[in-house]
Amino acid sequence: MTTPIQQLDVLWITAGLGCDGDTISITAATQPSLEDLVLGAIPGIPKVNFHNPVLAFETGDDFIGRFHGAAGGQGPPFILVIEGSIPNEQNKQEGYWAGFGTDRQTGQPILTCDWIDRLAGEAWAVVAAGTCAAYGGIHAMQGNPTGCMSLADYLGWKWKSKAGIPIVNVPGCPVLPDNFMEVLLYLLYQAAGLAPSIPLDQALRPKWLFGQTVHEGCDRGGYYEQGDFAEQYGAPQCIVKLGCWGPVVNCNVGKRGWINGIGGCPNVGGICIGCTMPAFPDKFMPFMNQPPGSLLSSHAVSTYGRAIKALRNFTQNSLNQEPERRRPTRRLDDTG
Ligand code: SF4
Ligand code: SF4
Ligand code: SF4
């Protein structure tokens, strides 16, 4: 067993090709919250220093100094978090696609790819926050000029940190707040020597979060089973005919909700567009069409489901009436 880590930095680079949406998303987390983590409210984990350019108080050299130090092997161990997809800086004659901070000598931007090259080998663990970093996401869709890719495509899918930890992908566009913070907390417990190595699936997602489909945890699952499908937005029934991909998408938002257990795409009427999946967005487009596979399954479910619903209605009507013996009619008749 390795020596437990007492203090650990989180170095978060938001300068992949992205929108900072994952950083904003985690500010809504509650299990645990970011504040819980950085203020030391959770027992047993290392002391955490959090460095994210969107959330930091420091700016300029005061902020970027810790990144330079980490690249030079100075300071406490760190978890490197990458947000946004990784551009291909080799596919053009001039210019650059993405940079983060400036070089102290030249004053020129430092490429995001150079930061990854400098920091990944020094990191205790590397985490991809959001689908852009995990799988390329929106920016890597067909026709994009940047040639951008996932962190695993850039470093290699079999890449491991110096602590022997594979890249940890926490997809979602944006990432579900509590999913990200729970993964970070898991890694912190692992760093403290209190948790085994994080279990990941073949797409490098934490297994316990992405082992089920949206459909398996959806509030509207009962409607699906009874073949009761919405024909327009705003209806409470299953929205598969409006384009929901939930039956084949690995995501726990149906069960977990979005913030504090509330919300979550299909629960509140939004079709699942598969944003946690490696094939997103190309294989899920056009978004508003009914998924091809669901045409067959929803047709089959319609026949079976309507018969089941008719039988249930019959039973339900009976259960909505008090047992005959409880009715006051006889007593009233007796005293009358
Ligand atoms: Fe923005 Fe979505 Fe990419 Fe995150 S995954 S950076 S939210 S586009
Ligand atoms: Fe499944 Fe989507 Fe229907 Fe929910 S809305 S039951 S996830 S198909
Ligand atoms: Fe993304 Fe679908 Fe999960 Fe919503 S339910 S977060 S669209 S994978």
Q: Which two tokens stand for residue 183?
A: 């993964």
* pLDDT computed for residue 328 by the predictor: 66
* pLDDT computed for residue 288 by the predictor: 79
Q: Domain 215-312 belongs to what topology?
A: Cytochrome-c3 Hydrogenase; Chain A, domain 2 (4.10.480)
Cβ(130)–Cβ(179) under 8 Å? no
Is the Cβ atom of 249 under 6 angstroms away from ligand 3? Answer: yes
Is the Cβ atom of 240 under 6 angstroms away from ligand 2? Answer: yes
Distance (angstroms) between ligand 3 centre and the Cα of 63 equals 34
Cβ(210)–Cβ(264) under 8 Å? no
* pLDDT computed for residue 204 by the predictor: 98
* pLDDT computed for residue 159 by the predictor: 98
Distance CA 36, CA 40 (A): 6
Is the Cβ atom of 214 under 6 angstroms away from ligand 2? Answer: yes
Distance CA 65, CA 42 (A): 28
* pLDDT computed for residue 171 by the predictor: 98
The per-residue pLDDT for range 19-44, each reduced to its tens digit, is 999 999 999 999 999 999 999 999 99
Ligand closest to Cα of 274 equals 3
DSSP string, 223-244: HHHTT-B-SSTT-SSB-GGGT-
Is the Cβ atom of 276 under 6 angstroms away from ligand 1? Answer: no
Nearest CA to ligand 3 atom 1: 275
Is the Cβ atom of 271 under 6 angstroms away from ligand 2? Answer: no
- The three-state secondary structure class of 41 is coil
From the CA of 240, give the closest atom in ligand 2: 8
pLDDT along the chain (336 residues), means of 10: 88 96 98 95 96 94 95 97 97 95 92 98 98 97 95 98 98 98 98 97 98 95 94 95 95 95 94 96 88 77 83 87 76 56
CATH number of 7-208: 3.40.50.700
From the CA of 246, give the closest atom in ligand 2: 7
Is the Cβ atom of 266 under 6 angstroms away from ligand 2? Answer: yes
* pLDDT computed for residue 336 by the predictor: 47
Q: How many alpha carbons fall within 13 Å on the CB side of residue 202?
A: 1
Q: Which of 5, 2, 323 is nearest to 192 (CA)?
A: 5
Quickly count: other Cβ atoms within 10 Å of residue 4's Cβ: 12
Distance CA 219, CA 286 (A): 24
From the CA of 173, give the closest atom in ligand 3: 1
Cβ(177)–Cβ(258) under 8 Å? yes
Domain boundaries, the chain: 7-208, 215-312
* pLDDT computed for residue 291 by the predictor: 84
- Look at the pTM and tell me if it is higher than 0.85: yes
Tokens 């602590």, located at residue = 163
Is the Cβ atom of 22 under 6 angstroms away from ligand 1? Answer: yes
* pLDDT computed for residue 127 by the predictor: 98
- The three-state secondary structure class of 129 is strand
Beta bridge partners of 229: 238
Nearest CA to ligand 1 atom 2: 173
